[in-house]
Structure 1
Amino acid sequence: MQNIGWIDSFEKYAQKMITDGQVPGVCMGLAKDGQIFYSNEIGFRDVERQLGVTIDTVFGIGSITKSFTCVAVMQLQEAGKLSVHDPVVKYLPEFRLKNLDVGQITIHHFMTNTSGIPPLPTFFASVMRSLEENEIEDHPFLQNYTDDELPIDTYEDLMRVIASLDLELLGPPGTEFSYSNDCFALLGAIITRVSGMSYEAYVKEHIIDPIGMEHTSFFLEELNGYENITNLYIKQDRGDHKEVIPSLNWWDTPSSRAAGFLKSTVRDMLQYTDMFCKGGLIAGGKRILAPESVQQMMTPYFPTDMAPGQFYGYGLVITTDYYGKTLVEHSGGIKGVTAQMCFFPETGLAGVALSNLELSPVLAVMVGALNSLENRPPETSHLVSKIDFLTEEAMNQFVGDYHSSEFGTLPIRLEDGQLMLSFLGENYVMRPFAEDIFVVRAFGTDCSARFIRLENNKIARMAFAGRQFTIQDKKTSGGNEK
């Protein structure tokens, strides 16, 4: 690990990715067996005051929070207070779906994003209180929302809204993957009811404090005046270019903190990853999880559709063959936040990268470091296509408008002999990978899009960014398909 020959080429690559991505500040660190052996701090936590980032700068970690939520559930299972195979309604009797039986949906289904519940239109209402603090910003995460919704302030509000929605399950529980912030939010409700503590207090007392994560919290005011905290930045579309500007406030949502609202530092997060590599052990020989619980969290239960060969465990994403090793990771993204955490359980190598701009290329930076460490070019992808070419006729069957209540409409068009996908204001080339699977290079790394067919062989949905989108309009002579 002390061979430093890889550093120069990696740092040139990282600097280019971050400069091209207009990212104000990024910090990444690598550790082996809990010892940090490399860190790279690029840019500023406060551009206006020219204050740099360090491995102790507090950033948001977004959906990496989901792994903390699952650690809490596993601790409660070890304490005999619940089982992951219990029905959700055992602890949340108010949880229901209109005209659908939810009795078969278990905590395990929530933890693995396999409840069958499609993406839901709840995000805007969940962050509404934060939006009221300043004028609503021109933000890509909000482009599909209207202002006629009531705020969702509590778990009970969230369950009431979910119960009112007209929706169909994607399939029986355990048969379809679709990433669900709402299900993870409700895991927070289960933790609260089972433990008798607020979700946030439970995570602090049973995970953050025992590990010694000194600058990690859901609430910045709990950091007692600590000043090494990043500002947040967003990109605004100026027509011919995108401008990065400061954003005034952190988004918060009391009903959904279990899905993605923890703040932390690279140093703290590398302590956290080390706990997984050591099978639940932390400093001083103490234990916060049994080895069996850690193994259950890292079990590849179901394909994610975020990349070929990638599976979801409990709040963790597992690639079972990453150049011959098991890679465990999770990313996070929300306003002013892009975050990436990864580790290799067999070798004890771990990495964390945090930034202060949403949709920034920190995953590419992390992958670049992993590649460089093993003497591969930093931009190398571990995905090898099985199909090199499709005719325009073959590609045309995938053209159409795909919709989810969470992200709105995602158009796919055939342009100049290439399939093009539009997502959150950006256009991407879709490269053939395998039957009904395409690879998209976004923000410097590869992710996948998989098309799902009905029994009649017609395309019904597309899985992309972990979510399932339903086809609305074929945009071809074949007519509409629902």
Structure 2
Amino acid sequence: MNQETGIRDFERYSDEILKKYKVPGFAIGLAEDGQLCYGKGFGYRDSEAKSPLSADTVFGVGSITKAITATAILQLQEKKMLTVNDCVNKYLPEFKTPNEEQAKQMTIHHFLTHTSGLPPLATLIGAIKRSMEKDPKLGGDQQQENPLDAIQAIDTYAEVMDFIAKAEFTLLGEPGTEFSYSNDAYALLGAIIERVSGKPYEQYVQENILEPAGMHNSGFQYKTLNGYEDIAILYDMREQDGEEIIFRSNNPWDAPAMRAAGFLKSTVNDMLKFTEIIRNAGKVGRTRILSPESVELMTTPHIKCSHGSYYGYGLVIIPDFFGYKLIHHGGDIKGVTAQMNILPELNLTGISLANLAGAPSSKLLFSAFSSLHLNKTIDASHLNVEVVDLDLESLKEFEGTFISGDGMINKFYVENGRLHVAIAGMPDIELNPIGNDQFLLTIREMDSTIRFLRNKDKKIHRVEFVLRQIPKVDEGK
């Protein structure tokens, strides 16, 4: 298949998928050796005004921000202002958890790799509370009980630490032993950057990463973009009378105390510059942002985070993506779905950005890589797993409700001899067993895996899902 046919097929596939998910606007860009080799805008940055998208349209990038935060930490290590093996308490002596001894053992490395032992907590909800309260309502939303009323607003790093200190939870394990994605850990890395550098996190990143890399249309607040107008309008989704309604909801969420975890705004072109740091051993063009040794630390598979995937520092590593090492990260928050991919062996990088949460940005960027550059079918999956048979009695063992501290509710049930999961706001998903308490499922067109975890009595007590360890609840209570 020649390149022209491949692009045509990819764009037809993208149109179908974006229409299926009712995505207002989607931008994608791929670069080879740092030069844009494919770029396309689908839909609009403003559907009502029919304003087109470009590679310079500003979107949120969500948790891809974590790679920026990890970069800042490693810069400070290069300047000998900290080391990743330092204990968090060295810089944040007020940081405490219900297990104070384990809290004292937590290091910057543990925070970078999500292995501190912190479970998912409601901290992020408190941090974005003031923004969420300004959200436009749709239909009967005004009459519904507001769950935000029960959550305190969190505006500062001190309040993040106070919230964690007073929360009732059990750490997942000794620091370094258990992976569970933690926005709280990355928020507090922002606090460490601030205390060590003597500058606000946002200012440090602007001066030491964004500006030197030439990322001139990037920042943490739209007001810092100096009147720049090519900004994607945010859209949201609600279900009404069994139908998904997409509506304009241009109130960007902000969380001053947690910007280091996921609140950068950027463009396809700017983020492709950032990917050069990873692809090009720390350099964007002739400008060095990180040392090659620091990039190696970022992209080392420090701990397994899902089937075939490992976490580095602010990055996920897939050692075998159709025979190549893929480095990537995604982002998903209100009005934002983002994906960043780097294939260093092929000098290939890519970014995809959408202005609707839950859009299949990851699938489309993965498809672009595999179909346009690796000669794979457009819907090919890199996961090399085989489905196995489980009898009804064995499947029943996985039934139950699992609720995370940040409010994610997953109900697993068996129907017609198959295990399913019900998640609020999504159609129920069928799971296929692949052995060792693991299952294969498809979310937003992407194949993924989950793993059930057992306690010392061999009873299932947690599920590892969407990179988080989520506890099973006693439904008899």
Q: What TM-score does the superposition give when structure 2 sets the normalisation length? A: 0.95
Query: How far does the alpha carbon of each residue in 1:155-211 deviate from its partner, in whole angstroms, 9 at most, with x for none?
Result: 001101110011111010011000000110000000000000000000000000000
The aligned counterpart of 1:399 is 399
Partner residue, 1:372: 371
Query: Once the 2 structures are TM-superposed, how far is the Cα of residue 422 of structure 1 from its aligned partner?
Result: 1.6
Q: Is the 8 A contact 1:328 1:344 kept in 2?
A: yes
Alignment-derived partner of residue 253 in structure 1: 255
Contact 2:234 2:249 in 1 (8 A): yes
1:372 deviates by 1.0
- Counterpart mapping for 1:376-455 below 5 A: 376-426=376-426, 427-455=428-456
**Does structure 2 conserve the Cα–Cα contact (< 8 Å) formed by 1:432 and 1:438?**
yes
- What CA distance in whole angstroms lies between the structure 2 residues aligned with 1:338 and 1:208? 21
Paired with 2:258 and 2:137, the residues of 1 have a C-alpha distance of 20
Q: Judge which range, 64-73 or 423-432, deviates more.
A: 423-432
1:424 shift after superposition? 3.4
CA distance in 2, matches of 1:2, 1:227: 37
How far does residue 378 in structure 1 lie from its aligned partner after superposition? Answer: 1.0
Q: For the residues of structure 2 that align with 1:34 and 1:432, how far apart are their CA atoms?
A: 41
CA–CA distance in structure 1, aligned partners of residues 241 and 305 of structure 2? 35
Aligned equivalent of 1:270: 272
**What is the match of residue 463 of structure 1?**
464
The structure 2 residue matched to 1:234, chosen from 219, 233, 236, is: 236
Counterpart amino acid of residue 173 in structure 1: P
Query: Structure 1 89/351 Cα, relative in aligned 2: closer, same or farther at 3 Å?
Result: same
Instruction: Return 5+ residue gaps in structure 1 as ranges.
Output: 475-479
Give the SS at the match of 1:446.
strand
Map 1:99-248 → 2, pairs under 5 A: 99-101=99-101, 102-134=103-135, 145-248=147-250
**Contact persistence 2:239–2:425 (CA under 8 A):** no
Partner residue of 1:343? 342
Cα separation, partners in 2 of 1:408 and 1:276, compared to 1, 3 Å: closer
Q: What amino acid maps onto 2:3 in structure 1?
A: N
CA distance in 1, matches of 2:281, 2:75: 13
1:10, distance to aligned residue in structure 2 (A): 1.0
Q: Which amino acid aligns with 2:24?
A: P
Does structure 2 conserve the Cα–Cα contact (< 8 Å) formed by 1:401 and 1:411? yes
Question: What is the alpha-carbon distance in structure 2 between the residues aligned to residue 213 and residue 30 of structure 1?
Answer: 17
1:36 Cα deviation (Å)?
A: 0.4
Distance 1:430 1:227, change over 3 A: same
**How much does 1:5 deviate?**
3.0
User: Normalized per residue, which structure has more helix?
Assistant: 2
Query: Using the alignment, how far apart are the partners of 2:405 and 2:26 within structure 1?
Result: 32
State the 1:387 CA deviation.
3.2
Shift of 1:348: 1.1
CA contact (8 A) 2:98 2:170 kept: no
Partner of 1:27: 27
- Quick one: distance in 2 between partners of 1:145 and 1:464? 24
Question: Who is 1:357 aligned against?
Answer: 356
SS for the counterpart of 2:56 is: coil
Query: In structure 2, the residue corresponding to 1:67 is in which secondary structure?
Result: helix
- Normalized against structure 1, the TM-score is what? 0.95
Q: Name stretches of at least 5 consecutive residues in structure 2 with no aligned partner.
A: none
Report how many residues are paired. 471
* Alpha-carbon separation, structure 2, partners of 1:164 and 1:221: 34
Distance of 1:181 and 1:387 partners within structure 2: 33
Residue 22 of structure 2 aligns to a residue whose secondary structure is coil
Please tell me the root mean square deviation across aligned C-alpha atoms, in Å: 1.8
Instruction: Write out per-residue CA displacement over residues 410-465 of structure 1, whole angstroms, 9 at most, x where no aligned residue.
Output: 10011122111122321111111232111110101012110111222211110000
